[in-house]
Amino acid sequence: MNIFSEKLKEVFFSVLPVTIIVVLLNFTIVPLGYNLMFRFVIGAMFIVIGLTLFLLGVDLGVTPFGAVLGDEITKRNKLWIVVSAGLVLGFFISYAEPGLLILANQIDTVTLGNISSSSILIVVSAGIACMMVLGFLRILFDLPLYIILNVSYLIVLILGFFVSEEFLAIAFDASGSTTGVLAVPFILALSFGISARKKNSKSSEKDSFGLVAIASVGAIASVMILDIFSKTSEFAGTLPSSQFENLSISGVFMREVFPAIHDSSIAFLPLLVIYIITILISKSISKRENRRMVFGFIYAFLGLIIFFIGVNAGFMEVGSLIGSHLVEQEKYIFLISIGFVLGIVTILAEPAVYVLTHQIEEVTAGYVKRRSVLVALSAGVGLAVALSMLRIVTSDIRLWHYLLPGYIIAVMLTFFAPKLFVGIAFDAGGVATGPMTATFILAFTQGAANSYPNAELLADGFGMIAMVAMMPIITLQILGLVFKIKNRKTIEGEEKSL
């Protein structure tokens, strides 16, 4: 019960800033109306309860299960098992990710049905699976993370010259969408379980991060390859109008129950199958651990359902309406400023962020403080959303104007930042793009792009997730440099005192 109350308090104070900002906007420059405002507040309550249960379930079930799997894979000491496990786990974890399901449906609409949502799910999941294998092999054979990432992003850069502008944004957005509420804690635990069996503790510490970063590159490359070979040239996209105009407040939430159950079931079914197989094969899981993990999965499943209901019935429409209203009133300074603030406070409500920051503090034995990571992460995401708003209202700025120099800086920093921070930074880039970002801020961005006369919904409405994924990579590596310089000065001061 103490764990539940701690999670509840943590999530409440994370969601509260977003709620306060929307309430203030409602009574000042963006009137939302009684019905929508009331739905937003109820949705916020659903999100608090849902995230609390989900994070409790992650701690009790998903994370321990990932660690057990990682341990089982490595102790078999057979390469074919490592490769097979990487392919299977990578594919099903990606296929189950709710954020990817949403994006796949959007791409189906974008391409006028020429590329189906199922083909996107299969292609992206296959890309994630292949890179998961590479990530496993890196840990086992001590391959340098920064070299793998540099080569991977060089390949992505080359592919980028052959894809359309719309698919450039979609490819990088796919990378962010695959690293969400389900995939991140599971992949991090897998990575930790595999690296924990290594004898070198410092090497194990560095290797426990970076698997998310390597896997997410597979999503970018696979979507780019899909675009190159699909030869799709016609794109269309519209922002759908509200589906809840003729429904009561209770009716809106009731309508979202079954879709939330459906999406959550799809997300958890593959993991449930893998869990059952693992229980039947493994002899190292005690009955107590098994019971604890089962309850964890139940809590996480129920929490995800409640979270989806809150987001879809309350948050999405409000985000879109705020972005659209600010553009229609030509309040562009407010649009950029509010985007920056929303980016900062929304990232604090991402469930995967808490999983990552706690694990960073645990793995580094408190050397890297959770608060330091959150500050760097929030600043990066806030700047990313602000720059995305600037791109919408400035026709001459294209997405690649940000991504190309941004990733060049990120790659260059890998040669100077501490190697532990390189893994943390690239993992954080994927973690930052969870359900809150992919719903509320994406809706805010697309609402603005849909209303600005010279903006294209597809080219300008997409790409925000890509920016949110990139900026923390830069800011956290800079944080690593700060730690490096700080430690060097401390050592020099101690030597002088002697």
* Helical pair 98-110 and 257-281, crossing angle rounded to 10 deg: 130
Q: Name the token pair of 331.
A: 């309040």
What is the average per-residue pLDDT within 398-403?
89
CA angle 221, 227, 228 (to 5 degrees): 90
Residue 231 zone, left/alpha/beta (φ > 0; ψ -120 to 50; rest): left
Residue 205, pLDDT above cutoff 60: no
The winner for highest mean pLDDT among 116-120, 242-246, 327-331, 469-473 is 327-331
Q: Let me know: does 353 contact 431? Beta carbons within 8 Å.
A: yes
pLDDT at residue number 387: 93
Write down the pLDDT at residue 142: 79
Cα 64 to Cα 482: distance, rounded to the nearest angstrom: 33
Contact 230, 162 (CB under 8 A): no
**The pLDDT of residue 109:** 63
What is residue 355's predicted lDDT score, i.e. its pLDDT?
A: 66
Neighbours of 101 (CB within 10 A): 19
Residue 319 contacts residue 311 (beta carbons within 8 Å)? no
Kindly report the CA angle at 100 between 324 and 274, in degrees rounded to 5?
Answer: 155
Provide the token pair at 340. Answer: 């920056």
pLDDT score of 363:
67
Contact assessment for residue 466 and residue 216, using Cβ atoms and an 8 Å cutoff: no
Q: Where are the beta strands (DSSP E) in 307-373?
A: none
Q: Say if residue 337's pLDDT is above 90.
A: yes
pLDDT surpasses 80 at 246:
no
Convert the pLDDT of each residue in 424-480 to its tens digit.
787 777 667 766 677 778 888 888 888 888 878 777 888 888 888 888 888 888 888
Q: Supply the pTM of this predicted model.
A: 0.79
Residues 269 and 312: their CA atoms lie apart, in Å, by 22
Greater confidence (32 vs 247) lies with 32
Kindly list the domain boundaries of the chain, sorted by start residue.
3-490
Q: What pLDDT shows up at residue 491?
A: 46
Compare 19 and 390 and report the one with higher pLDDT.
390
Q: Is the pLDDT of residue 487 over 80?
A: no
The per-residue pLDDT for 234 is 56
Of 198-212, 403-417, 419-433, 446-460, where does mean pLDDT reach its minimum? 198-212
Indicate the length of the chain as a whole number: 498
pLDDT(140) > 50: yes
- Span 109-122, average pLDDT: 73
pLDDT in tens, 13-23: 778 888 888 89
pLDDT tens track for 61-101: 877 887 777 777 777 667 777 788 778 888 887 887 777 87
CA distances from 482 to 70, 408, 428, 470, 475 (A): 32, 20, 17, 19, 11
- Would you say residue 423 has pLDDT above 90? no
Contact 184, 88 (CB under 8 A): no
Top-ranked range on mean pLDDT: pick from 244-248, 308-312, 398-402, 431-435: 398-402
The whole-number pLDDT of residue 351 equals 60
